[in-house]
Amino acid sequence: MDPSYEQERSKTRKRFIIIGLSSIILVAAIVGTVVGVTQSKNNKSNNNEDSKVSSSVKAVCGATLYPDSCYNSLAPMVKSGNLKPQDLYRLSLQVAIGELSYASKKFLDVGVKEMNITDKRTLAAISSCQELFSLALDHLNSSLSVPNSKLLDSFHDIRTWLSSAGTYQQTCIDELESASPGLSSLASTYFQNSTEYISNSLAMITTIDDLADSNSARSLDNAQLAKDGSGKYRTISAALKAVPEKSDKRFVIYVKKGVYVENVRIEKTMWNVMIIGDGKANTIISGSLNNVDGTPTFQSATFAVFGKGFIARDVQFKNTAGPAKHQAVAMMSTADHSMFYRCTFDAYQDTLYVHSNRQFYRECDIYGTVDFIFGNSAVVIQNCNILPKKPMQGQQNTITAQGRFDPNQNTGISIQNCTIRPAGNLAGVNNFLGRPWKDYSTTVFFQNVMDKFIDPKGWLPWVGTSAPDTIFYAEFKNVGPGAVTKNRVTWKGLKLNLVDAQVKKFTVGPFIEGDKWLPSTKVTYKSGL
């Protein structure tokens, strides 16, 4: 992330309608469209039908952040007032897919070409955007593929996919911002409609109901690799070529002791891959890509995971670029149901990119300096060691930078029962729990042990002297000298007096639905408080 990035514009808070109220409106709209439909050929009947269509669409769109764009995009397509909210949601998805497909093609084929770009960093950011558009369309199409009869069963999956689709698009704009602010501004213009349409679809599915389900299967060891040639493969990338596409069975790769200098990608078609090492001090995967040398943040990860159901255990992921190279990611996961156990993540700025979808980290060591746990996933980090280390001169350490930009997204960083202490001498360095990357940044620290090196103010603004009122930051039942809250910042969005029931929703069970998919990993975890 570029620290100079300005916070996106404030969203209209009043439009985040309470789910219960919007549900009542939806029911009333449906009843109004069903009762009184008669067979009539006169103009009055046609006018009544048009009125019912308008009322039905307006009622559904009233639950979105962008009711005008919602209504204007859907009303021309709706010919009957008898459509259910599920049908309007499906139409909204179709509109979003069409708009993103059109806007991405126009941006790349017209906008970018007309600027005659030759700068290496900007071209790399554009390359990131191409991949991100593909990922966003994949998630939108996955959401559309769920039939109405399965929407309730797949509710949390769909909500996650739509949250991630929006995040992919926003990441493109963020990547361009650090390379070419002018091009980033152009992209924001091109993708304004698709951003709003994805948000509208997310709001609609949020109002329908909540329940979801997803499971994976597993098997045993499939591949071994070693630096000394004692395994079948010498590199992880070579072993990954044996992974079947979109398999429901677990594909296990055992990586023997050694330092593997390579940049690894678990592609989106590589489902249920598991990497097992000989211990986080023994099996090390290392890279050095970084922003200063021209690699966008999204592409800088030593190890990048896109395929769902990924597991890593007993491995160290490292980016050796150093603090002067700024953004340099050790691990990036954009994979749903990704889980990391007894791993180490070691870099400086932007160490752990918890980009999107549902993730879980247990008994890991996380080292870094600036924004070193960041992204817009729904993630629980549990029983880990969080270890800020010495940054560049003049820098301040910030542990988290959460990227939620839409209040309907089900994302946030949840840090539970961890130990937060310095890695070495941090005398003269200001250390903060985090700063809000986006307007609805959501981060909760609870039941942790905090050493005294944490600045008494606790939190740092992204820009200026305060934070948006729309953020949700919380501290709950932490202990240690760094957990004292009497001198914390007085932001409206910082909650210091929550009760158990309010914090519980950020635990493994409800927040990432861990009880449904973590048992298959055979890793110990705590479901609640």
Residues 175 and 292 in one domain: no
Residues 40 and 188 in one domain: yes
In a domain, 528, yes or no: no
Average predicted confidence (pLDDT) for the chain: 87
Q: Look at residue 221 in the predicted model and tell me its pLDDT.
A: 62
Residues 204 and 271 in one domain: no
In a domain, 201, yes or no: yes
**CATH code of 84's domain:** 1.20.140.40
Q: Greatest CA separation found in the chain?
A: 84
Phi and psi at residue 359, in whole multiples of 5°? -140, 155
Residues 320 and 418 in one domain: yes
Q: Look at residue 43 in the predicted model and tell me its pLDDT.
A: 47
Q: Look at residue 10 in the predicted model and tell me its pLDDT.
A: 33
Residues 418 and 309 in one domain: yes
Distances (CA, A) of 99 to 88, 93, 156, 173, 368: 16, 10, 24, 17, 39
Q: Look at residue 423 in the predicted model and tell me its pLDDT.
A: 96
pLDDT in tens, 198-222: 999 999 988 764 323 222 322 356 8
In a domain, 237, yes or no: no
Domain that holds residue 61: 13-208
Q: Look at residue 275 in the predicted model and tell me its pLDDT.
A: 96
Rounded Cα–Cα distance for residues 26 and 152 (Å): 16
Among candidate residues 164, 185, 208, the one where a domain is terminated: 208
Q: Look at residue 180 in the predicted model and tell me its pLDDT.
A: 86
- Name which of 177-186, 245-254, 315-324, 349-358 the model is least confident about: 177-186
Q: Look at residue 85 in the predicted model and tell me its pLDDT.
A: 81
pLDDT band per the 50, 70, 90 thresholds, residue 422: very high
Q: Look at residue 115 in the predicted model and tell me its pLDDT.
A: 76
Residue 376: closest CA among 311, 432, 437, 302: 437
Rounded Cα–Cα distance for residues 405 and 191 (Å): 15
Residues 192 and 275 in one domain: no
Which pairs from 518-525 meet CB under 8 Å and 24+ separation? 518/339, 518/360, 520/215, 520/216, 520/217, 520/218, 521/311, 521/339, 521/341, 523/313, 523/339, 523/341, 523/362, 524/362, 525/360, 525/362, 525/382
pLDDT band per the 50, 70, 90 thresholds, residue 8: very low
Residues 382 and 502 in one domain: yes
Over range 64-77, report the average pLDDT: 91
pTM of the full predicted structure?
Answer: 0.81
Residues 204 and 293 in one domain: no
Residues 331 and 445 in one domain: yes
Instruction: Point out the residues that are catalytic.
Output: 371
pLDDT band per the 50, 70, 90 thresholds, residue 51: low
Residues 285 and 377 in one domain: yes
- Name which of 260-269, 273-282, 379-388 the model is least confident about: 273-282
Q: Look at residue 80 in the predicted model and tell me its pLDDT.
A: 65
Among candidate residues 208, 237, 256, the one where a domain is terminated: 208
Residues 167 and 286 in one domain: no
- Name which of 140-144, 228-232, 435-439, 469-473 the model is least confident about: 228-232
Q: Look at residue 58 in the predicted model and tell me its pLDDT.
A: 83
Q: Look at residue 37 in the predicted model and tell me its pLDDT.
A: 36
Q: Would the pLDDT of 38 be above 90?
A: no
In a domain, 444, yes or no: yes
Total count of domains within the chain: 2
In a domain, 221, yes or no: no
pLDDT in tens, 470-523: 999 999 999 999 999 999 999 999 999 999 999 999 999 999 999 999 999 989
Cβ atoms of 355 and 377 within 8 Å: the answer is yes
Among candidate residues 208, 239, 272, the one where a domain is terminated: 208
Angle, alpha carbons 249-155-501 (nearest 5°): 105
Over range 221-228, report the average pLDDT: 82
Q: Would the pLDDT of 42 be above 90?
A: no
Let me know if 87 is exposed, middle or buried by CB neighbors in 10 A (0-12, 13-18, 19+): middle
In a domain, 252, yes or no: no
Q: Look at residue 82 in the predicted model and tell me its pLDDT.
A: 66
In a domain, 7, yes or no: no
- Please, what is the angle between helix 192-208 and helix 85-106, to 10°? 160
pLDDT band per the 50, 70, 90 thresholds, residue 3: very low
Q: Look at residue 47 in the predicted model and tell me its pLDDT.
A: 52
Q: Would the pLDDT of 358 be above 70?
A: yes
Over range 35-61, report the average pLDDT: 56
In the chain, what percentage of residues exceed pLDDT 70?
A: 87
Residues 269 and 201 in one domain: no
In a domain, 214, yes or no: no
